[in-house]
Copies of this chain bind each other. A is one copy, B any other.
Amino acid sequence: ERDKYENNDVAGVVTGLAWTRVGGDILFIESILSKGKGNLNITGNLGKVMKESATIAMEYIKAHAEEFGIIPTIFEKYNVHIHVPEGATPKDGPSAGITMLTSLVSLFTQRKVKKSVAMTGEITLRGKVLPVGGIKEKILAAKRARIKEIVLCEDNRRDIKEIKEEYLKGLTFHYVTDMSQVLDVALTKQKVKNAKKL
């Protein structure tokens, strides 16, 4: 099984939940910075909608830089690259939105991502979190990958209620409506070791 590696030592790596033709799966959003002129690079065999999620996340952060404690001039000095590993698998849909936003906030603040957290949810340009599909399959995949806490849209609470209790053992759910709540759950106050000085 490929999906066991986990690592919150590096900023910008966040675990998401995906729904593929062969069932639920976890996926990783990775983002890095390199000196540049503000370009956004997106890879991982992604479809149009998933690429749009990356753009929305990036623009949201730019528009709310101060709230996140990010100096706005930073955006013009670095290129951002967002990647979703396992290039052989085509990926699409809006559900990685909150994972991408969390990844980017971690990257630009160098804050450490909480251990054993995974998430799934669409993001809007206002920072609202929207519900997504395939919840049952995603939860089963999360358990297999030893995830402990899961962030979902409040409107997906009903989907969890329809899942047999025994499948939910050992999982903590965080239901959110706004992006700020996702970040409260998923990002620690602590910086990563060897945090980059931006």
Contact = CB atoms under 8 A, between A and B. Distances in A.
A125 B34 contact: no
Contacts of A41: 55, 59
Copies of this chain: 6
A86 B81 contact: no
A122 interface: yes
Interface stretch (A2-10, A143-151, A159-167, A183-191): A2-10
A128 B85 contact: yes
Given A43-B52, A53-B87, A33 B63 contact: yes
A135 to B, nearest CB: 14
Given A86-B130, A93-B88, A44 B52 contact: yes
Given A33-B63, A59-B81, 15 more contacts: A2-B130, A2-B131, A10-B126, A30-B124, A30-B125, A32-B63, A43-B52, A44-B52, A52-B87, A55-B81, A87-B97, A87-B122, A88-B93, A88-B132, A88-B133
Interface of A: 2, 5, 7, 10, 13, 28, 30-36, 41, 43-45, 48-49, 52-53, 55-56, 59-60, 62-63, 72, 75, 79, 81, 83, 85-88, 93-94, 97, 122, 124-126, 128, 130-133, 155, 177
